[in-house]
């Protein structure tokens, strides 16, 4: 698949490159989940540069073996002298900083957080080197990593040596809907709304997942579902690999929480009950604020710090799909019963994507612009049927509000019931707003 989008990020990386070569060395941190395209972004940003780019990949091997790789890269890209006998990665970086007094080049260290497992002293040693050399050198240093919790701790924890050293931190996000549609159109110009929703629901905007579907030619809804749940699918173990890499070996309770959320248990009480009543407050806090895997949300206009009426969701569309269909049916996977797994997914997928379609339209409205806040609204269940509205969007002028219902199957829509809910929200929180009502269906994608 060709390289798509990332124009803003490329322009920013080129701007930083110019500053590092005309003023002084700069340190840029590039983060983002696995498969998000960090390496592709870096290579495309500097492919036309007139200065060399060194690429160091921190694999899980001995430090001496890494040094051999780094020295070879220096010889290939800079044709510069490297002293014999270097044993530590920090010695290689020190040598490069010396070279950067008279040479201009970009140094990329990919999966930088892996030094935690190889030689964690490099972080304090790099701090000292950077403080000593930065002002008198011209190096464009980019430190990339895909384990969010580790990269965040290394660079934003005030107790860590590299805190405050990064001049720029770029967090690479999934592709937006407009880019997903562009890719799908390039590979399947006659795609249907069902094809688009299926691709969005499984791959989200993760470039590598989109590439897998495109390069294999699985771009209609049914073939995507068959492939994603087949014994040849790279997605079967992808969620487990992704999360164990992030969370570590003590992942059991976290997996149980995420599985409960993917099955519709959205409040802390519901999740705790699904896990037998255990205390999960600390786990939820880490999943949200350390691992960046879930997000909490409240009814629109609720007080930001309020603890009542809070719901949780898995932020990543692929992970939600993986937990809902793959991990929840792990027994079928272990039995190699992919045939029945595929049939189960095929049957349940239309209902599952009802909620995904709601998220799709929220994202679509945000990208169209003109809103200051977009969310949902609901009343807690307290002895009467809850009122719940899929989308409430406040326009930028703070005088108009869009209130919308989202239905995958238009036959399930009741205009009378929807208008009753609109009246309730109007008297509750939107009495001062001019209200526009909408019904979003697959045809509006």
Between β-strands 105-110 and 139-145, what pairing exists: parallel, antiparallel or unpaired? parallel
pLDDT for 386 equals 57
Bridge-partner residues for 401, per DSSP?
394, 435
Q: Tell me the average pLDDT across 20-40.
A: 96
CATH of domain 238-335: 1.10.10
The vertex-27 CA angle with 30 and 71, nearest 5°, equals 90
pLDDT for 358 equals 97
Angle of the 63-77 helix axis to the 89-99 helix axis, nearest 10: 20
pLDDT for 85 equals 86
**What's the fold here for domain 369-444?**
Trna Endonuclease; Chain: A, domain 1 (3.40.1350)
- In this predicted structure, which of 291-305, 318-332, 402-416 has the lowest mean pLDDT? 291-305
pLDDT for 237 equals 96
Q: Mean pLDDT for the chain?
A: 95
- Asked if 280 and 257 count as a contact pair (C-beta separation under 8 A), the reply is yes
Q: Is the dihedral of CA 16, 20, 26, 27 positive or negative?
A: positive
Segment 344-354, tens digit of pLDDT: 999 999 999 99
Segment 377-393, tens digit of pLDDT: 998 764 344 589 999 99
- Asked if 193 and 442 count as a contact pair (C-beta separation under 8 A), the reply is yes
- Residue ranges, CATH 3.40.1350, the chain: 369-444
- Residue ranges, CATH 3.40.50.300, the chain: 7-171
Q: Tell me the average pLDDT across 394-420.
A: 96
Segment 171-220, tens digit of pLDDT: 999 999 999 999 999 999 999 999 999 999 999 999 999 999 999 999 99
The 10 Å Cβ neighbour count of residue 150 is 20
pLDDT at 104 over 70: yes
pLDDT at 305 over 80: no
Q: How far is CA 26 from CA 14, 23, 343, in A?
A: 12, 9, 53
| Superfamily grouping for domain 7-171 | P-loop containing nucleotide triphosphate hydrolases (3.40.50.300)
pLDDT for 379 equals 84
- Asked if 105 and 54 count as a contact pair (C-beta separation under 8 A), the reply is yes
pLDDT at 253 over 50: yes
The CA-to-CA distance between both ends of the chain, in Å, stands at 24
Q: What is the pTM of this model?
A: 0.93
- Residue ranges, CATH 1.10.10, the chain: 238-335
Taking every pair of C-alpha atoms in the chain, what is the biggest distance, in angstroms? Answer: 80
The confidence band for 308, taking pLDDT boundaries of 50, 70 and 90, is confident
Measure CA 354 to chain center.
21
Bridge-partner residues for 66, per DSSP?
none
């Amino acid at each position: 698949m060709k390289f798509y989008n990332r124009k803003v990020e490329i322009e920013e990386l080129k701007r930083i490159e110019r500053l590092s070569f005309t003023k002084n060395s700069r340190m840029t941190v590039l983060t983002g989940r696995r498969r998000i395209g960090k390496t592709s972004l870096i290579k495309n940003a500097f492919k036309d540069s007139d200065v060399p780019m060194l690429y160091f990949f921190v694999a899980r091997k001995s430090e001496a073996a890494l040094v051999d790789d780094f020295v070879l890269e220096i010889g290939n890209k800079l044709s510069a002298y490297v002293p014999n006998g270097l044993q530590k990665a920090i010695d290689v970086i020190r040598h490069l900083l010396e070279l950067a007094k008279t040479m201009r080049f970009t140094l990329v260290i990919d999966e930088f957080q892996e030094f935690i497992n190889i030689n964690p002293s490099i972080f304090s040693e790099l701090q000292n080197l950077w403080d000593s050399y930065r002002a008198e050198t011209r190096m464009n240093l980019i430190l990339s990593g895909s384990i969010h919790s580790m990269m965040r701790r290394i660079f934003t924890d005030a107790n860590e040596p590299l805190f405050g050293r990064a001049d720029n931190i770029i967090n690479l996000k999934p592709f937006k809907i407009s880019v997903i549609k562009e890719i799908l159109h390039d590979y399947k110009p006659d795609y249907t709304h069902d094809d688009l929703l299926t691709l969005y629901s499984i791959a989200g905007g993760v470039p590598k997942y989109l590439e897998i579907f495109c390069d294999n030619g699985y771009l209609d809804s049914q073939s995507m579902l068959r492939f994603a749940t087949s014994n040849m699918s790279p997605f079967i173990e992808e969620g487990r690999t992704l999360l164990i890499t992030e969370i570590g070996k003590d992942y059991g309770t976290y997996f149980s929480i995420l599985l409960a959320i993917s099955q519709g248990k959205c409040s802390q009480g519901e999740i705790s009950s699904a896990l037998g009543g255990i205390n999960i407050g600390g786990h939820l806090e880490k999943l949200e604020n350390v691992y960046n895997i879930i997000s909490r949300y409240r009814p629109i206009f609720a007080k930001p710090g309020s603890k009542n009426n809070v719901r949780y969701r898995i932020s990543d569309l692929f992970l939600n799909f993986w937990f809902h269909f793959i991990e929840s049916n792990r027994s079928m996977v272990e039995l190699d019963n992919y045939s029945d797994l595929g049939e189960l997914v095929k049957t349940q997928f239309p209902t599952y994507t009802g909620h995904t379609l709601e998220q799709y339209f929220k994202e679509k409205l945000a990208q169209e612009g003109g809103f200051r806040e977009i969310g949902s609204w609901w009343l807690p269940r307290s002895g009467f049927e809850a009122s719940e509205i899929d989308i409430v969007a406040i326009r930028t002028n703070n005088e108009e509000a869009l209130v919308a219902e989202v239905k995958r199957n238009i036959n399930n829509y009741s205009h009378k019931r929807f208008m009753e809910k609109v009246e309730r929200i109007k008297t509750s929180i939107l009495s001062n707003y001019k209200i526009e009502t909408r019904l979003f269906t697959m045809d509006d994608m």
